[in-house]
Structure 1
Amino acid sequence: MSNRIKIVFIGNSIINGFPYDRNQEFVSLYREASGNEVINKGVNGDTVHGIMRRFVQDVLVHKPDVAVILTGTNEFIYKESLPEQCMKDIVNVVELAKAQAINPVLLTPLPIDPGMAETRWMVCDDVDYEAVQDQIVELKKLINKYGEENKIKVIDTFYAFSEYVDLVGEQTAYYDGIHPTREGHQFLAEIMRKFL
């Protein structure tokens, strides 16, 4: 994009950059590289319901040109939603953006590494990370299908990050099986530059 635009990224801890400082996550790295006005509205542990509740104050108030939306992992870890319902809620968020002439861009949720997540993330909780990964895959398919059918831009970060993991290995890509490492965030920033 040649002209400087305003973009709000809204979503969960992947957007927020957990466990790193705000200037080290892919949103800030993309901001520096692109020269666009970029606002990070990531919240650790958030779900699509949280995004819907805060969409007015965190997105609409800023009157951005683009809203980049990433959700769909915590919903399944917390057993709050199933892929089909999560997709319906994401569509509602997209409609909120479109109603204010904001261009929505959907990111598919990142893959997780179930084995690493079991030992490094929420170890004491009863979470079936294999089932979570299956639900993430299902939601990714629904998001891609919705984007194609409705001419909504989708960046398939699930696919891109899967390729990245295959290339560099889990230990380099993941901090804890859920969240990317600094190197993983740098990779995601490059994906944003390429496709956003």
Structure 2
Amino acid sequence: MKSKILILFLLVFASSSFAQLKTDSLSNKPKKENFTDDWAALSKYQKENELLPPPTRKEKRVVFLGSSIFEFWKQKDPEYFKDKPYLDRGISGQISPQLLIRFRQDVINLKPKVVIILAGSNDIAGNTGHVTNDKIMENIKSMAELARLHHIKVILCKYLPVYEYPWNKRIKAADSIVKLNEKIMAYAKEKKYTVLDYWTPLVDERKGQRAELTVDGVHPNLAGYKIMEGVTEAAIKKALKKWH
């Protein structure tokens, strides 16, 4: 009888010890950081920004702020950004209010001479029912005003042509982008901001992207980016001249 009680005691003790070890093991496991509050993905470029030295006195730093068009650019043609004071801060899928939230960290704090703002297409493509071109323009205007306040020259982009979004064909993309570009042009003219026209050199007869320049009707291929590089360089030079 005593031996049975002893065996039972040992089994209970062993079970308790194992449970404690399991608990200790779980408590010592590194806790995964929760980024659900980082709606604008500030964490994406945070470390890269922290490692970035301040611009030199003669450096003409340019920040490219946008979504997938800019993020994929440095993947398709990394040579374009190599050995230039260009900082690509594109994040795929982002809408204009997310760009606005990122503006301080990914633009102002980097002290560029120029910011290129490409915004609006993902807002239109989302089809949430709440987005209008006027709402997009409010976010673009806020970014432009912040830049001017911090003595950063503003380049506003006429968005690339899109006939339809492969993932949301119900959207009448072409006409929406044309109307957005008209608003961007009018605002840029009023405030004397430089305009970077990505629409005209890429457009086809349907007001979409020329088939030989795109991978999916929305994002350029390498040939498309090469055309964008030419008009981008011209716009940067024009914006920088306004410093004199």
CA contact (8 A) 2:155 2:235 kept: no
CA contact (8 A) 2:116 2:155 kept: yes
CA contact (8 A) 2:201 2:227 kept: no
Query: Which consecutive aligned stretches of 4+ in structure 1 deviate over 3 angstroms post-superposition?
Result: 28-32
Pair 1:6-2:61 in alignment:
yes
* Cα distance per residue 1:1-46 (max 9 Å; x no partner): xx7510000001111117xxx3424xx55435xx640000000001
Give 3-state SS (helix, strand or coil) of 1:45's partner: coil
CA contact (8 A) 2:60 2:113 kept: yes
Q: Which residue of 1 aligns with 2:192?
A: 151
Pair 1:96-2:96 in alignment:
no
CA distance in 2 between counterparts of 1:132 and 1:24 reads 24
Give 3-state SS (helix, strand or coil) of 2:154's partner: strand
Q: Which moved more, 1:80-89 or 1:146-155?
A: 80-89
CA contact (8 A) 1:41 1:58 kept: yes
Cα-Cα RMSD: 2.2
CA contact (8 A) 1:77 1:127 kept: no
Amino acid at match of 2:232: M
Q: TM-score, normalised by structure 2?
A: 0.66
Q: Which residue of 1 aligns with 2:170?
A: 128
- Within the candidate set 177, 181, 185, 1:140 is matched to 181
* Cα distance per residue 1:62-103 (max 9 Å; x no partner): 110001000111101102511122112110110111111111
Amino acid at match of 1:6: R
CA distance in 2 between counterparts of 1:30 and 1:108 reads 21
Q: Which residue of 1 aligns with 2:225?
A: 185
Q: Which residue of 1 aligns with 2:216?
A: 176
Give 3-state SS (helix, strand or coil) of 1:155's partner: strand
CA distance in 1 between counterparts of 2:201 and 2:184 reads 15
* Cα distance per residue 1:105-141 (max 9 Å; x no partner): 1111100132xx4xxx32xxx5424x12211110100
Give 3-state SS (helix, strand or coil) of 2:89's partner: strand
**Equivalent residues in 2 for 1:34-183 (5 A)?**
36-80=84-128, 81-114=131-164, 117=165, 121-122=166-167, 126-129=168-171, 131-162=172-203, 170-183=210-223
CA distance in 2 between counterparts of 1:69 and 1:179 reads 17
Identity among equivalent positions (%) equals 25
Question: 1:170 Cα deviation (Å)?
Answer: 3.0
Question: 1:52 Cα deviation (Å)?
Answer: 0.7
Amino acid at match of 1:10: L
Q: Which runs of 5+ in 1 are unaligned?
A: none
CA distance in 2 between counterparts of 1:58 and 1:194 reads 23
Give 3-state SS (helix, strand or coil) of 2:199's partner: helix
Amino acid at match of 1:90: I
Q: Which residue of 2 aligns with 1:15?
A: 70
Q: Which runs of 5+ in 2 are unaligned?
A: 1-57, 237-244
CA contact (8 A) 2:133 2:180 kept: yes
Amino acid at match of 1:190: G
- The number of equivalent residue pairs is 175
Amino acid at match of 2:132: L
Q: Which residue of 1 aligns with 2:54?
A: none
